[in-house]
């Protein structure tokens, strides 16, 4: 059984989760009437950037494994879906059930302008249950603490068809490039013809292009394409890092960059991922024990953090009598508490719930990757 391990990618996962946590902390501070740092550029774009990183990373990793399988005898579609189910569905449906059936009965978790009554209950539940949480997110009222699943649903929709494309495409590179062009064209057409429509909002949020851009990175790595030399170039690395920082700060604006913002960010993130994972001379090194640990918990960090944010924002000001959560002491105490509580929740979930299913993945894998490699050695 072939083993594949990319150093540093758990660190990338944690950074993506951290960006989302910071953004949602500021959102809920606003909902509770506390001062917020959303007016600062650093905060206004973090959540969307974090989700984009997750999309690109998912496209990179899954496509690398699919192409590798294809080269070694063929893509096993059934096993692919079993692996996805074992990794994604248990936590997805746990958070779904908690959001629909438990949270509405816990007044302590109520958040102004976020928690809603369960109107159109049946329709929302069906959409979430059938992995169309992104559709519910755009068209229907919020499902508190479960709406976070919209991006997970987008990934699952993408993987309904992506393994088949990888398996059957003889010219995969051209198929990926064509996919990006056509999807961007669709998005631009909707922006022009139906700019305020919900269908436009849905297509904007369903960012398949980010995952395909990640897939392009995987293709380049597997086939050792000449473009790797360009991505590895140290001056290109420097420009890529600087561009990422500027995009993260939301300071790059023009009519062209705004139109293709997600694609630009995805390309930059993909180049960073390729360097971190495969370039011995990468400027950025993220292979450390604590980042590996937190990155391993990233799925839990992503879906559980809203609970930690609300609990912290309700407890911290009362217990510590802090006047401003944006003051250095208040901000530090708030973020440390949120990260600590989220990590504890995620560790318990990974160890005693998710792990029950993850251990079964190896039975359906011809190539093992990530943390399974360490467990197998």
Asked if residue 6 belongs to a domain, the reply is no
pLDDT digits (tens, 9 = 90+) for 312-344: 999 988 887 766 788 888 889 999 999 999 999
Residues 6+ apart with CB under 8 A from 360: 86
Give the pLDDT confidence score for residue 1 in this predicted structure: 62
User: What's the domain range around 170?
Assistant: 16-364
The pLDDT of residue 11:
97
pLDDT computed for residue 371 by the predictor: 61
Can you give the pLDDT at residue 373? 55
Domain contains 371:
no
Residue 2 maps to a domain: no
Q: Is 375 a member of any domain? A: no
Q: Are strands 2-4 and 367-369 parallel, antiparallel or unpaired?
A: parallel
- Tokens representing 286? 């993220």
- Please indicate, yes or no, whether the overall pTM of this predicted structure exceeds 0.85: yes
User: Which of 164, 159, 119 has its CA nearest to residue 142?
Assistant: 119
Residues 6+ apart with CB under 8 A from 271: 217, 231, 236, 240
Low-confidence ranges of the chain (pLDDT < 70): 1-2, 38-44, 118-120, 322-323, 368-377
Write out the two tokens for 48: 């969307």
Q: What is the pLDDT of residue 39?
A: 62
| pLDDT number for residue 137 | 93
* pLDDT at residue 377, as a whole number: 46
Identify which of 55, 41, 44, 43 has the alpha carbon closest to the alpha carbon of residue 13. 55
Report if residue 78 sits inside a domain: yes
Q: Look at residue 11 and tell me if it is in a domain.
A: no
Task: For residue 176, count other CB atoms closer than 10 A to its CB.
Answer: 21
| CA–CA–CA angle 132, 136, 138 (5° rounding) | 115
Domain count within the chain: 1
Give domain status of residue 373, yes or no: no
* Whole-number pLDDT of residue 42: 52
Distance CA(219)–CA(278), nearest Å, equals 13
């Amino acid at each position: 059984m072939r083993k594949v391990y990319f150093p540093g990618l758990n660190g990338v996962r944690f950074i993506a989760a951290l960006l989302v946590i910071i953004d949602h902390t500021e959102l809920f501070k606003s909902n509770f009437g506390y001062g917020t740092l959303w007016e600062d550029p650093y905060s206004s774009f973090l959540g969307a950037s974090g989700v984009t990183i997750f999309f690109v990373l998912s496209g990179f990793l899954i496509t690398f494994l699919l192409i590798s399988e294809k080269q070694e005898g063929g893509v096993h579609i059934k096993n692919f879906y079993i692996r996805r189910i074992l990794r994604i569905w248990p936590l997805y449906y746990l958070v779904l059930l908690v959001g629909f059936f438990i949270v509405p009965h816990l007044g302590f978790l109520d958040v102004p302008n976020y928690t809603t009554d369960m109107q159109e209950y049946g329709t929302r539940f069906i959409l979430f249950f059938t992995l169309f949480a992104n559709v519910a997110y755009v068209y229907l009222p919020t499902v508190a603490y479960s709406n976070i699943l919209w991006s997970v649903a987008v990934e699952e929709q993408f993987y309904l068809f992506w393994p088949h494309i990888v398996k059957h495409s003889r010219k995969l590179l051209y198929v990926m490039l064509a996919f990006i062009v056509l999807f961007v064209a669709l998005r631009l057409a909707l922006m022009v013809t139906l700019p305020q429509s919900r269908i436009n909002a849905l297509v904007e949020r369903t960012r398949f292009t980010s995952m395909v851009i990640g897939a392009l990175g995987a293709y380049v790595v597997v086939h050792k394409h000449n473009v790797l030399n360009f991505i590895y170039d140290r001056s290109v690395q420097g420009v890529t890092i600087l561009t990422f920082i500027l995009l993260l700060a939301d300071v790059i604006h023009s009519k062209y960059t705004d139109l293709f913002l997600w694609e630009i960010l995805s390309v930059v993130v993909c180049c960073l991922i390729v360097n971190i994972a495969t370039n011995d001379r990468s400027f950025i090194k993220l292979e450390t024990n604590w980042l590996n640990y937190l990155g391993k918990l990233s799925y839990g960090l992503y879906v559980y953090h809203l609970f930690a944010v609300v609990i912290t924002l309700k407890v911290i000001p009362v217990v510590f009598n802090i006047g401003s959560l944006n003051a250095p002491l208040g901000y530090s105490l708030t973020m440390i508490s949120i990260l600590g509580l989220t990590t504890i929740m995620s560790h318990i979930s990974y160890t005693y719930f998710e792990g029950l299913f993850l251990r079964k993945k190896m039975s359906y894998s011809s190539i093992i990757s990530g943390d399974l490699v360490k467990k197998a050695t």
